[in-house]
Amino acid sequence: MTIDTSTKVVPHNDTLFTQLHDGEAVLLHLETHAYYGLNETAARIWQLLSDGLTLGEVCCQLQSEFDVGDAEILQYVVAFAEELSTTKLVELSC
Amino acid sequence: MPRIVIELTNRCNLSCQHCFSGRHGGNTDLPLAILDHVLAEAGLLGFDFIAFTGGDPTVYRHFADALARTSQAGFQFGMVTNGQNFKMVYPVLLEHRDHLNVVTFSVDGATESSHDKLRGKNSFRRVMQAASICMFKDIPFSINMVVTRNNQHEVAELAELAAHLGSRGVRFGHLMHSPITTADGQDLSSEERKRVEAEIADLQRNSAIAIAMGPGYFTDSLFPCAPLQMQEVNVDCHGNLTKCCHLSGHGSPKTQRDVIGNLAEITFGEAYRRLVAENDVFRETKMRHHASGQFDETDYFPCWYCSRYYSKLDWLRSTEPNVWQLALR
Ligand code: SF4
Ligand code: SF4
């Protein structure tokens, strides 16, 4: 599936998300045991994706929160979604 | 490493099916003064490691204080926890990272369904979250699994799960007897225990991580565990120095012969001296029993021998007939 700004990223039912005190977070898939540490920005993206926002909406939101350029943020968010999808921590939908 | 097991509290945030009620149904927290007392004297007797247990140690009212005092006194420490509060308490552990040896999570099955059947809904998810925090924050951890009828087929799967998660190892242990688990049919017969032990021995040879069997397995050795070799002593949440954490709290209040003395009344040194004397008597008695040919099948499971020695088996008289009643003779 092609990932674009209209793609939604849905956490897999077996993915455990743990928000940590310092803003970081960690993901663990109960079946595959895939594991992923999230820095503060990635943890924020995860929250926005979990709220049901599309990748495009996540990018807009992040731009309003952080001082980063359009292209740069889209590249980051798409790469993040692809990596999570490869490890089955999320499912992608249109 | 000679160690002291300290039960910080008998309160718990779970109510596991295989837990005898005194452990999670209590409301007692160890007075901090007793902890200070132990920390001040134990080093002089060669102890350098404190293992915190409960109940669940993380619900102890003075948890942060206890860790700070333990590190400050120069001890290494570890704790056994069900992992349910780990997300809240891990920052405190990180503060004492230099003194933290290992966190041990109780995981009673390789799958959500078998673990949750014993420990309650969502408990597997929370303990897995705890393990993932350890992976991310580089906190050393290991896993304990109590083998029951319910999860006996999952030992290899659990070892694999532990290896995936980056656990240092797994320690399997037999279920400590109780009227509840017997009534619930969770006990394994001696033959079933031996079958599981053989499987664990096989895993020990082939697993990528350290696999151990806790005391209580079938053995010819008369003194196979740390408490019987005076390498481990137990302090319960009432401040009693007792023979062993496996026996602590078992049996009726009238049969607490394993309680050596209360640390609010005598010094740790005096309690330890009494324990050494008591252990000498225990060892002589056990050797005599063995030499006289009085051992039966249950005696080769050392925790059963101890349970009978310390008169903790009266409840077995009123249960449905079962294999372990042999120990009543
Ligand atoms: S976590 Fe341990 S102490 Fe608490 S109820 Fe379960 S077995 Fe008992
Ligand atoms: S109950 Fe006895 S055999 Fe079992 S661990 Fe304790 S001291 Fe050792």
* Residue A67 pLDDT greater than 90, yes or no: no
Q: What is the pLDDT of residues B287-317, one digit of tens each?
A: 999 999 989 989 999 999 999 999 988 888 8
Using CB atoms, which residue from A24, A28, A37 is nearest to B128? A28
Q: Kindly state the tokens that stand for B28.
A: 């007692």
| B185 pLDDT above the threshold of 90 | no
pLDDT score for B132: 98
Is the model's pLDDT at B253 over the cut of 80?
no
What's the pLDDT tens digit per position in B3-60?
A: 999 999 999 999 998 887 656 778 999 999 999 999 999 999 999 999 999 999 999 9
Nearest-atom index, ligand 1, CA of B10: 3
**Strands A35-38, B210-213: pairing kind:** unpaired
Protein residue with least CA distance to atom 7, ligand 1: B19
**CA angle, corner B245, sides to B174 and B56, nearest 5?**
90
Look over chain A and give the mean of its residue pLDDT values, rounded to a whole number. 92
pLDDT higher at B70 or B317: B70
Model confidence at B251, pLDDT cuts 50, 70, 90, reads confident
* Confidence (pLDDT) at B326: 72
- Name the residue among B17, B16, B26, B76 with its Cα closest to residue B7: B26
CB B282 within 8 A of CB B228: yes
Rg (CA), chain A: 13
Instruction: Please tell me the pTM assigned to this model.
Output: 0.95
Cα separation, A74 vs A58, whole angstroms:
9
Residue B91, pLDDT > 90, answer yes
Could you say which DSSP state residue B188 is in? P
A36 vs A94, which has greater pLDDT?
Answer: A36
DSSP state of B320: P
Q: Identify which of B128, B138, B70 has the alpha carbon closest to the alpha carbon of residue B102.
A: B138
Q: What is the mean pLDDT of residues A1-7?
A: 85
Query: What pLDDT, on a 0 to 100 scale, did the predictor assign at position B26?
Result: 83
B322 three-state secondary structure: coil
Q: What percent of chain A has pLDDT over 70?
A: 100
**B296-306 exposure pattern, b = at least 16 Cβ within 10 A, e = fewer:** eebbbbbbbbb
In sequence order, what E strands does A1-73 have?
8-11, 15-19, 25-29, 35-38
The CA distances from residue B144 to B83, B98, B136, B190, B324, in Å, are: 12, 23, 20, 21, 24
pLDDT for residue B160: 96
Per-residue pLDDT, averaged over B221-248, amounts to 96
Question: How high is the pLDDT of residue B319?
Answer: 81
Q: What residue of B is the nearest CA neighbor of A37?
A: B136
Mean residue pLDDT of chain B comes to 94
pLDDT in tens, B152-173: 999 999 999 999 999 999 999 9
Considering chain A, what percentage of its residues have pLDDT values greater than 90?
Answer: 82
Residue-wise pLDDT for A21-60, tens only, equals: 999 999 999 999 999 999 999 999 999 999 999 999 999 9
CB contact under 8 Å between A33 and B165, yes or no, is yes
Q: Cα B201 vs. chain centroid, distance in angstroms?
A: 20
Number of C-beta neighbours around residue B22 at 10 A: 17
This model of the complex carries an ipTM of 0.92
Ligand 1 is surrounded, with C-beta below 6 A, by B 12, 14-16, 19, 23-24, 54-56, 82, 106
- Examine the pLDDT at B98 and tell me if it is beyond 80: yes
Q: Label the pairing between strands B210-213 and A25-29.
A: unpaired
Measure the CA–CA gap between B237 and B177, rounded to whole angstroms.
21
What is the structure's pLDDT at B295? 92
Inter-chain contact B164–A33, Cβ cutoff 8 Å? Answer: yes
Closest CA to B132 of A38, A41, A82: A38
Residue A31's closest chain B neighbor by CA? B111
Rounded mean pLDDT of B108-113?
A: 96
A65, A73 Cβ separation under 8 angstroms = no
* Nearest Cα residue in chain A from B162: A33
Where in chain A does DSSP place strands (E)?
8-11, 15-19, 25-29, 35-38, 90-93
Whether B137 has a pLDDT exceeding 90, the answer reads: yes
Q: Maximum Cα–Cα distance for chain B, whole Å?
A: 55
> What would the mean pLDDT of B248-255 be, rounded to a whole number?
76
Pocket test for ligand 1, best of B13, B19, B115, B122 (most atoms within 8 A of CB): B19
pLDDT for residue B313: 87
Tokens of B211: 């696999």
pLDDT at B179 over 70: yes
| CA within 13 Å, CB half, B170 | 29
**Percentage, residues of chain B above pLDDT 90:** 83
pLDDT of residue B23: 66
